[in-house]
Structure 1
Amino acid sequence: MSIAPLASAHCPGDWRRDVIVSSRMLELDCITWNLHRCRGRDAQIDPDRTVRVLCDLLSDAAPGLCILTEADDEQPPYGALLDLDRIQEVSGLATAHTDLSLRWGDSSHGFLGTIVLHDPRVEIVDGCLLDLPGVYPRGATILTCRAAGHDFRVIATHLSLGQPLRVAQMRAVGQYLARHRDLPALLIGDLNEWRPWGGFAFSRGVAHRSFTGPARRSYPAVFPMLPLDRIMATAPFRVENAHVLRSPELVETSDHLPLRATVTLA
């Protein structure tokens, strides 16, 4: 299944896209963006600005998967910041957190600030929330998905800054993967790994599976130097055409820039 934007102008609520369905190939466009809890370069918390810029981004070319980090409030009860109804209306995407069991609480849109949006043709078969070790609360939203006849797993997360904690957190993810059906997996979000070669945390010895993907510099937004935001995958997934999106509006909206890539599964 290939999900791509039409060249025609976008109107609110009109999210038609060209779709090619193949029983042999899945092509899934993915975006991840750390929203910095709606705090812009001017240090002002402005959810309306964040929603406006995000809607412009998604309406131009709505992806199959969109993983947002730091998208809910920073403190318990991790309350919602975004006008999620507006985002869904403009983009045509659906939230994976309709079930309360996939949110931190009834006032949250996601889990510890991470929100998963998906094309409705990407079916959410099941999901769980995985608490990750560390003093500062971290977690992963793990979803089993189905599209174009393929089952796969999506792990959406925001990992810790320190390498030892990232290793411990990915070890917890790896233990989950080892206990469940072996499926191709996507690891998407702010992984806080600055080294371009990927890092020990994403190796087979730690995570049960080897996660790989291009490193593109997404932080800080004004002059990107570090590839903190990643779209990574296990075989037989391939991550292709990874690139950081940049515009004056994106730079003003968050301290991270969005990352976009296509993942293919034969």
Structure 2
Amino acid sequence: MLKVASYNVHKAIGTDRRRNPGRIIDVLNEINADIITLQEADRRFGARAAAIPQNLLEMHSDYRAIPLDVQTDSMGWHGNAILVRKPTRVLALDIMHIPCLEPRGAIIGHLEFEGKQLAVFGMHLDLSGLWRRRQAAAIIKHAQEKEQDMPVLLMGDLNEWSAASGCLKDFSRAFQMVTCGRSFHSRRPIATLDRIMHSDGIHSTEAGVHDSPAARKASDHLPVWANITVG
């Protein structure tokens, strides 16, 4: 059994408009997941420095960010990052260019837990419905190719406000959608923007939204999570 989660950390800027990476780390520790994909994990302008300093993360949690070595001071790629428990074996990692109107990307981690391997996709899709569907098509194609070798887990902020249309329809044709719940806005959740999806080689047993006093302040999104079994 693995616990996985996805969290748009809003560059560590909370609902009080203060940047406080320590609050994000507190929420990560509350979630207590084995794998967490992050969105908006880097600052937007300048050198795109990590919103959560790596040394702070490692000092105050059991997580480490999979090193992508793409941007010097960043945690991830276009704000996407994958956090894993420190003993987790990372076999490979990659970045994915996707069609975009504004800078967007996806990341893929090839991970191993207790002898079982899986590919984890982290993503943050466009605000535009047309570009979201183009991005979804590219990610689905790549994920289905990966699925031939191992189970695939996809997590992130899809920015899709509809209940079942748009890119959700595209993803649901190829993968199982986990029902987590409304995650945005953290103060009063009205939209199911953050999603967890998986291939047939993975089974979800329980899922939800992590709604705590700390999470309501740390970011404008609440984290979503699921318990899964692989194989």
Q: TM-score, normalised by structure 2?
A: 0.89
Q: 1:202 aligns with which of 171, 176, 180?
A: 171
**How many equivalent residue pairs?**
228
What is the CA distance between 1:61 and its match in structure 2? 5.2
Whether contact under 8 Å (1:124, 1:143) holds in the other structure is: yes
The one of 134, 140, 148 aligned to 1:174: 140
Shift of 1:247: 2.3
Task: Tell me if the contact between 2:180 and 2:208 (Cα under 8 Å) persists in the aligned partners.
Answer: no
1:119 aligns with 2:96: no
In the TM superposition, what is the alpha-carbon distance from 1:57 to its structure 2 partner?
2.5
1:185 paired with 2:159, answer: no
Which of 26, 31, 39 does residue 5 from structure 2 map onto?
Answer: 31
Q: Distance in 1 between matches of 2:97 and 2:103?
A: 8
Match of 1:260 in 2: 225
**Are the structure 2 counterparts of residues 61 and 230 from structure 1 closer, same or farther at C-alpha, using a change threshold of 3 Å?**
closer
SS in 2 for 1:58: helix
Using the TM superposition, give the Cα deviation of residue 189 of structure 1 relative to its aligned residue in structure 2, in angstroms: 1.3
1:164 aligned onto 2:130: yes
* Native 8 Å contact 2:31 2:210 kept in 1: no
Is 1:107 the counterpart of 2:67? The answer is no
TM-score normalized by the length of structure 1? 0.78
Corresponding residue SS for 2:177 = coil
| Alpha carbons 2:155, 2:197 under 8 Å: kept | yes
Q: Distance in 2 between matches of 1:57 and 1:185?
A: 25
Flag structure 1 segments of 5+ consecutive residues without an equivalent.
1-26
Residue 230 of structure 1 aligns to a residue in which SS? strand
Rg (Cα) greater in structure: 1
- Looking at structure 1, the residues matched to 118 and 10 of structure 2 have their Cα atoms a distance apart, in angstroms, of 29
Question: Structure 1 residues 86 and 126, CA, compared in 2 at 3 Å: closer, same or farther?
Answer: same
Identity rate, percent: 27
Counterparts of 1:134 and 1:254 in 2: how far apart (Å)?
A: 25
Relative distance call for 1:57 and 1:72 in structure 2 (3 A) is same
- Structure with more relative contact order (C-alpha pairs < 8 Å, separation 6 or more): 2
Quote the RMSD (CA, aligned, Å).
2.0
Is the Cα contact below 8 Å between 1:80 and 1:108 reproduced in 2?
yes
